[in-house]
Amino acid sequence: MRPGVLLYTLPPSGGDFFPISLGYIAASLKAHDIEAVVAEVDQITKRTSKEVADFVITYKPLAVGFSVYQANIKLALQLARLVKMIDPGIVVVFGGPQACFMPKDALRQMRGVDVIVRGEAEIVWPALARCIITKTGFAGIKGVVFMRADTVIETMPAPLMGDLDSLPSPYAFNVFDLRQHEVAVMLASRGCCFNCAFCYTPRAFGRRIRAHSTGRVLADMSICVKARIRRFFFADPSFTFDKKRVASIMRGIIKRRWKVEIWCETRAGLVDRPLLTLMAKAGVRYIAYGLESVDRRVNKVLRKSIDLDQFEKIIKITHELGIEPEVFTLYGLPGQSKESSLKTLDFLKRLGIKIAGNSAGQQLHLFFGTDIADAPERYGIRLLKKRRPLYLSPGTDFVTEHMKRRDIGTVAKAYKAMHPRNVRKGACVSLL
């Protein structure tokens, strides 16, 4: 294979949930005869920088890519500068959710970063790697931002893949060392056909969903099962958007007699008792449902239609079938008061939802690519910090017309009081 690409995932991903998105990129690079390695900085210690440096020196990559989020981008910038200190000729690339919609001029403020990748990177990275290898310019690549002299250049967006099955499988290409893991992450579909004002996914994927075929999903799972992995985490935003397809996957699991444990995420309006019964039989043990708020006026502003009676019914059925329901909720939402937020928490407790993990609730984050972050004042949100680096979105640094810092803190404490403490463990740097 040709000289390689080193792809890093950083906290907050961590733990045993390896980065499936980077896995797809690595598989696509390998399919184009370009060596690629996915590595994880799983815990930050005094030795982290040395271990990252030692690995870069040993591997000698032509390019290093970082998957960046609001929570880890400062660390990524620190490591990008470290990579450049080791070898200024290494091309440093930022991609991921934070990079997808940040202003192009943010590149001027990110010392050590050469390229921003937008959109589905499985298409962009092979073309980018070829240009690096052949030492040609990036102007002909779709979906990138880069500097030419003192000018920031942004190329045309890369098209979305039409057929997800045409993407090389991270599992078939042995991107991950499955012997090191007890959990496998599946990305059986991409996108969302809804349009919640707080979420960047609809814009990122054009408000449509594309899916792997049942055969592809089962083939990838089979590779993991043969490697003695029994726990699966489906990262799809709305796993059951197509009930017939999900039923086909579940029947495939049952037919193969796999003894597996599955986590997935969906909406209460996208499941019913027959499907949930089949899912329970196939090994689904956890389902995370999106709720956000029990305040109908707030949900209307968010463009999220929730039938609370139906939601309660689905939670009851989920419990009855032996599946543990988790519920996504947010506070600090537009139009939401402290009292309204606490009513959401009371609703969860009344339904018997454990206030832990995904059910612990969190303050609304204003992320790039969301309608609320684009125009917070339109939603009654006042940003507390007027100036910030262009690569950072407002995050949680705001108050609303109904909730001040004190109110948001009160709700956070109410959730925390019901949530057991989790201690994060892990090695510093590992290959996946």
Mean pLDDT of the chain: 92
| CATH architecture designation of domain 2-161 | 3-Layer(aba) Sandwich (3.40)
Question: What length is written for the chain?
Answer: 432
DSSP letter, residue 36: E
pLDDT in tens, 355-371: 998 999 999 999 999 99
Domain boundaries defined on the chain: 2-161, 177-417
Residue from 229, 214, 323 nearest 271 by CA = 323
User: Could you tell me the pLDDT band of residue 51, with boundaries at 50, 70 and 90?
Assistant: confident
Scanning the structure block, which residue is given the tokens 């059986």?
188
43 near 424, Cβ under 8 Å? yes
- Rounded-to-integer distance, Cα 270 and Cα 170, Å: 28
Fold matches, 2-161 and 177-417? no
| Number of C-beta neighbours around residue 81 at 10 A | 15
pLDDT in tens, 186-241: 999 999 999 999 999 999 999 999 999 999 999 999 999 999 999 999 999 999 99
Q: Map tokens 């709305």 to a residue.
A: 238
Q: Which CATH class is domain 177-417?
A: alpha beta
- Three-class secondary structure of residue 225 per DSSP: helix
Global pTM reads 0.92
Q: What share of the chain is helix, strand, coil (3-state, %, to 5)?
A: 40, 20, 40
Between 422 and 300, whose confidence is greater?
300
pLDDT, tens digit, for every residue of 295-337? 999 999 999 999 999 999 999 999 999 999 999 999 999 999 9
- β-partners of residue 148 are 151
